[in-house]
């Protein structure tokens, strides 16, 4: 889909760099900026009504999230479907979640502990009950929320930020590739994680999350 060309009244005065980033992120995730679409500064300036600087800053952040790809002096474009990206992202996220689990196990308060266990139980139950379509999407969302909550409880804001960045990229690739998540396996992993964290055993929790590396949790089904 072409980049929208209509200028939005007053946007230049109101749009700050964070808002530029959010607008571009939303446009990529909802398909307004389509996979493989070339991004030209002049077009983006016309669309957003801002100078080149906040656009370039947003592009750098989106490239770090693997939602934009570029080649110097050749192109900047929205990332396309990349089959190898999903296992790569799962490897990175599993390492981040494992580190977060070790930290959260010893840092979280009693009330935070109860809330986390509840979120994990809800996610595991949703995965077991999912039968495709909206229920599967809801199960994956419940899992995302639970694991983000885990990363936040680590007390390390950088870990939480990385989970958001790479988790967003993973969701984007799952959508592009029409990938199918093995929700039965995911439910088992979430239940094992809940059991480990029930006893505040950070090492056992990290071992559960390490199982995501190289496992067959996701099967990409890219149309020919």
Q: Is the pLDDT of residue 5 over 70?
A: no
Domain that holds residue 39: 11-78
Q: Is the pLDDT of residue 18 over 80?
A: yes
The total of structural domains in the chain comes to: 2
Q: Is the pLDDT higher at 116 or at 85?
A: 116
pLDDT at 3: 62
The answer as to whether 22 is a domain residue is yes
The answer as to whether 215 is a domain residue is yes
| 137 shares a domain with 173 | yes
Q: Which of 78, 97, 130 is the last residue of a domain?
A: 78
pLDDT at 221: 57
The answer as to whether 2 is a domain residue is no
Alpha helices in the chain (DSSP H): 11-14, 17-29, 41-48, 52-64, 85-107, 110-129, 134-153, 157-177, 183-198, 202-210
Asked if 212 contacts 90 with a C-beta cutoff of 8 angstroms, the reply is yes
| 70 shares a domain with 24 | yes
Reported as a single tens digit per residue, the pLDDT across 36-87 is 999 999 999 999 888 888 999 999 999 999 999 998 888 899 999 888 889 9
């Amino acid at each position: 889909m072409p980049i929208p060309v209509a200028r939005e009244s007053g946007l230049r005065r109101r749009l700050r760099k964070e808002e530029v980033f959010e607008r571009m992120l939303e446009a990529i995730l909802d398909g307004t900026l389509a996979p493989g679409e070339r991004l030209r500064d002049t077009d983006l300036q016309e669309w957003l009504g801002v100078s080149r600087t906040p656009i370039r800053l947003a592009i750098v952040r989106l490239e770090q999230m693997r939602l934009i790809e570029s080649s110097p002096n050749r192109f900047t474009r929205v990332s396309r479907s990349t089959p190898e990206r999903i296992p790569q992202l799962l490897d990175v996220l599993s390492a981040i979640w494992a580190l977060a689990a070790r930290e959260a196990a010893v840092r979280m308060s009693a009330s935070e502990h109860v809330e986390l266990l509840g979120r994990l139980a809800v996610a595991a139950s949703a995965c077991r009950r999912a039968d495709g379509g909206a229920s599967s999407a809801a199960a994956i969302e419940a899992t995302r929320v639970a694991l983000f909550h885990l990363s936040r409880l680590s007390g390390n804001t950088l870990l939480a930020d990385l989970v958001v960045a790479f988790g967003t990229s993973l969701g984007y690739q799952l959508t592009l590739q029409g990938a199918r998540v093995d929700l039965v396996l995911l439910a088992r992993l979430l239940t094992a994680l809940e059991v480990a964290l029930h006893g505040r055993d950070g090492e056992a929790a990290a071992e559960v999350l390490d199982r995501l590396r190289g496992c067959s949790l996701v099967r990409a089904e890219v149309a020919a």
